[in-house]
A and B are shown apart, each in its own frame.
Chain A
C-alpha cells in the first residue's frame, strides 16, 4: 500500500455509506446495559423495513454519556437517543415515535467538550479499519513518513508540550528524545493500557472505541525513535479491548500499516498484545516490563529508567494509551495547533471518566485548564437529587480529594499538585455530602494493601497497618494517638517505598486529613476536641 492508497480507501468507504446511518454504541458501558440486543433488534427490524435500502446499522464506540446507555444516534442529523430498549428499534429506524425523546445535544455535557483524542469515538466502527481510514485515521502516520524526518517528529512532540497522560505528566518529548538518541539498534515501544484505578475507564474506552488511533501513535513513535517492536500491555479485566485491538492489529497488517514495509516506505514496525494477570502494580512501568518479560510483576528501582535500560535491557519508550492517541493529530495539525489548547504548563486536552454521585456519568474530553467545577457541576450536572458535592476524588489511589470549595482549581498538573491531588490518569469520582471520608480513605487503603506487590517493606506492611488504623477509627474505637500513627506511617510509606504505588498510597489519607479532619475527629473515642 502506498501513501496515496489511504485516500482511495477513504473514498470507497464513504461512497458505500447509505444515506441514513444508525450508530449503536458497543463500548463496554453500553454493552453492560443491553446494547448488543438493541443492535441485533435494529438489524432485524431493518431487514423488513421499507427504509432498508437507505439505512444501515453500525456498531460504534463510546458516545460519552455512559450512565444513560444504551445510546443510539441516527445520522446524518445526529439525533441521539438514550436508554434505548430493543422495542424502540422501529421508531428509531423511522426517525420518529411518540415514546422517543432525543437527547439535547446542545447541553454543556456535549457542547463544552473539545475532541482530539475522542474525535472518532462514537463515529467509527472500531472493528473495521476502513471506517477509521474514512474518518481520517492514519493521516498523521502518512504525513510523518512522507513529510518529516524522525528527528522532526521528536521535535514536534516536544514543541507540542504534550505531557504523559498516565498521571505523572512527564514531558513526552523528553522521553521520545532519550530513546531516539540511543544508538542501540534494538529498541521497543510499549503502550501502557493497564488502567486499574477504581473509577477510571478512559483508556479502556479509547481502545474499545478507536484502537487504530492508539496504534497510529505507536507506529509514529517507532518511526521517530527507531524502535521496531511495539507492545500493548492490556489489563486482563478488559477482554473487549483485547478482542478489538487484535482485530485492529490483524487488519492493519493486512493493509500494510504494520509490518515490514509500512505505507510502502520501508518502515518496519509491528505490535503485539500482552495481557496482564490482574495486578494493579503492573501499571508501574518497571513492573509492567518485568511482566512482559515473563517474570513476576514487581517494580525495580529506577534509575536506570526504561528509556535507557528497559524491556530485555533495551531502550524502551513507554507511554499511556491517551498519550499515543494524541500523536497522530499533533503530526497532522502541527505542534503549534496542539500547544494552543490548554494552559502554559499543561497543553492539549485531557480525557476524564466521571463517575460516582453525579447526574451525568461518562467520558469528557476538555482543554487542560478547565476548572473541576465546570466538569462536575456544569457538564455532568452535579450530585443527583439536589445533594451538595462534598469532594471530587481524582487520580485514584495515588490521588487525593479536592473539597468542594476548591473545585474552581483548573485541571492543570501544577495547580492540582498544589492542592494535594493530581490530574491522574483520568478517573474522577464525585462524592456528595453523604460520603464518609474516613470510609473513602479506608477503601483506597484497602485497595493499596491488596495490590501491594510485597517487595518493599514500607508498602507491604505500612499499608496493612494504615488500613487497620482506618478501620479502627471507622469503628469509633480510634484515639488521637491513632491519628498520629496514621500520619507517621503516611510520612514513612510516602518517602521510603520503592515505587510509585507505595509512594502515593498514603495520598487519600493525607488529603482527607488535610481537607476533612472533622470526619476523623468526630469518630475518635471521646469525641471531637472541644
Chain B
C-alpha cells in the first residue's frame, strides 16, 4: 500500500497529487510563500530563493518551487529565520542595481516593490552598487532598462517555452550577468523576436516596458498569457 499523499504546511494538513511541488500545495492550502522567479506555467529554476522553506528532518532549506511534495512531509514557511533571510535577499536585490521607485515606470505595479512592502523593508543595510547599465530603446514597441533587471529570467523562459522564439538569454556571469536578445545585439535588430510582448508582460519589475510608458504608468494585462499557458497545459495533458 502506498503511503497516503498528505503533508503538513504551517500546521495545515494538505492532500497532494503525485509530482506536485510544495509551493503548489501551499498555495492551494491558502499559505502564502513569496516568489519572484516562479511564474505559473513556466519551468521552475529555484533561483530567487525567496520561496525557501524549512523541511522537518532536513538540515538544508528547500526551494518550494522545485521541491516535490512527499507523504508525511512537515513544512514550515514562516519562521523568524526565514523572514530574516527573505528580507536580506530582497535588500541585496534592492542594492544590486537601481531600484529607485519614484522614477520607475513600474512604480505601484512592481513585484519587487510589493515584496519589499510585505517584508517591511524601510531601509537597506548594504551598500548600493548603482552600476551604470544601459537602456536599450532600439525596439519599436518595447524597451529594456538593465538597471531595473533582477535576472529572474522569466523573459528568457516565456520566450523559449511559450512563444518558442528564444530571443532572450543570459550573458556574462555573477554580478556582470545581463539578459540579452539574440547574440547580444540591440533588441530592435533581433531576427528572432516576434514582438509578442510576453516578456514585457511577465517582467516583475520595470526592466521591460512598452515604449512611451511614463513613471508609474506601467499597466499589466497578464490575462492573455495565462490563457495561452493554460491552453498549452491542457494540450499537453490531453493532446
B120-174 at interface with A (beta carbon < 8 Å): 125-127, 129, 150-151, 170, 172-174
Contact A461 B173 (CB under 8 A): no
Q: How far is the CA of A462 from the CA of B91 in the complex (A)?
A: 10
Contact B126 A457 (CB under 8 A): no
Q: How far is the CA of A461 from the CA of B88 in the complex (A)?
A: 11
Contact A495 B85 (CB under 8 A): yes
On whether A497 and B177 interact (CB within 8 A), knowing A468-B127, A485-B126, the answer reads no
Contact B63 A464 (CB under 8 A): no
Q: How far is the CA of A214 from the CA of B84 in the complex (A)?
A: 46
Contact B127 A461 (CB under 8 A): no
Q: Is residue A301 within 8 Å, beta carbon to beta carbon, of the partner chain? A: yes
Contact A460 B126 (CB under 8 A): no
Closest to B65 in A: A301
Q: How far is the CA of A301 from the CA of B62 in the complex (A)?
A: 9
On whether A455 and B172 interact (CB within 8 A), knowing A301-B66, A485-B125, the answer reads no
Q: Is residue A452 within 8 Å, beta carbon to beta carbon, of the partner chain? A: yes
Q: Which of B46, B85, B95, B172 meets A461, CB within 8 Å?
A: B95
For B, the interface residue count at a CB cutoff of 8 angstroms equals: 32
On whether A452 and B173 interact (CB within 8 A), knowing A465-B95, A492-B85, the answer reads yes
Q: How far is the CA of A488 from the CA of B81 in the complex (A)?
A: 12
Q: A residues within 8 A CB of B229?
A: none
On whether A498 and B92 interact (CB within 8 A), knowing A301-B66, A454-B175, A465-B127, the answer reads no
Contact A461 B175 (CB under 8 A): yes
Q: Is residue A288 within 8 Å, beta carbon to beta carbon, of the partner chain? A: no
Q: Is residue B230 within 8 Å, beta carbon to beta carbon, of the partner chain? A: no
Q: Which of B66, B93, B127 meets A457, CB within 8 Å?
A: B93
Q: Is residue B89 within 8 Å, beta carbon to beta carbon, of the partner chain? A: yes
Closest to B94 in A: A461
Q: B residues within 8 A CB of A497?
A: 49
The interface bits of chain A over 274-313 (1 if a CB of B lies within 8 angstroms of the residue's CB, else 0) are 0000010100000000000000100011010000000000
Contact A457 B174 (CB under 8 A): no
Q: How far is the CA of A456 from the CA of B93 in the complex (A)?
A: 11
Contact A488 B88 (CB under 8 A): yes
Q: Which of B48, B63, B174 meets A451, CB within 8 Å?
A: B174
Q: A residues within 8 A CB of B95?
A: 461, 465
Q: Is residue A362 within 8 Å, beta carbon to beta carbon, of the partner chain? A: no
Q: How far is the CA of A44 from the CA of B105 in the complex (A)?
A: 75
Q: Which of B45, B61, B150, B175 meets A496, CB within 8 Å?
A: B61
Q: Is residue A422 within 8 Å, beta carbon to beta carbon, of the partner chain? A: no
Q: Is residue A449 within 8 Å, beta carbon to beta carbon, of the partner chain? A: yes
On whether A457 and B47 interact (CB within 8 A), knowing A462-B92, A464-B175, the answer reads yes
7 A-B pairs with C-beta separation under 8 A: A452-B175, A454-B170, A454-B176, A456-B48, A460-B175, A489-B126, A498-B47
New A-B contacts (15) at CB < 8 Å, excluding given A455-B47, A458-B49, A488-B125: A301-B66, A303-B68, A451-B174, A454-B170, A454-B173, A456-B48, A456-B49, A457-B93, A464-B174, A465-B127, A489-B88, A489-B126, A492-B88, A496-B52, A496-B85
Give the 8 A-B residue pairs with the shortest CB-CB distance, closest first.
Answer: A454-B177, A452-B174, A301-B46, A461-B92, A301-B66, A492-B88, A496-B49, A454-B174
Which residues of B are in contact with A by a Cβ distance under 8 Å? 45-49, 52, 60-61, 63, 66, 68, 84-85, 88-89, 92-93, 95-96, 125-127, 129, 150-151, 170, 172-177
